[in-house]
Amino acid sequence: METWTREQWESTLQQSAAAVYYLYTPMCGTCAVASKMMDVISVMRPDMPIGKADLNYVQELAVRYEIESVPCLLIQKDGRIQEKIYAFQSVPYLLERID
């Protein structure tokens, strides 16, 4: 899973039919667990563009997408945010939501 800038995310929105953007903060314990889940998902779904970013460095996205907390998973389809996930329940749950 690559670290994306805001510009890379916006480019992916325009170029990919579907993509996922994982937002976290480094001092968040729950984010550490969610990061491990996302690493597994990125291996299981190599066809899906998946990026991550420290929310401290993409604060304008927090405002634009009304991010309420971290970790947050933005799922986009056809250039639009379809879902924001805050509760990373399990890898199978996340895979189901992504598909």
Domain extent for 72 = 2-98
Residue whose token pair is 């670290």: 3
Instruction: Give the per-residue pLDDT at 13.
Output: 86
Q: How many CB atoms lie within 10 A of CB 82?
A: 12
**Which CATH number does the domain housing residue 72 bear?**
3.40.30.10
Instruction: Give the per-residue pLDDT at 84.
Output: 97
Collapse the DSSP code of 24 into the 3-class scheme (helix H, G, I; strand E, B; otherwise coil) and give the result.
Answer: strand
3-state DSSP of 45-86: CCCCCEEEEEHHHCHHHHHHCCCCCCCEEEEEECCEEEEEEC
Interval 43-88: pLDDT, tens: 999 999 999 999 999 999 999 999 999 999 999 999 899 999 999 9
Q: How many domains does the chain have?
A: 1
Is the model's pLDDT at 26 over the cut of 90? yes
Is the model's pLDDT at 99 over the cut of 90? no
pTM: 0.92
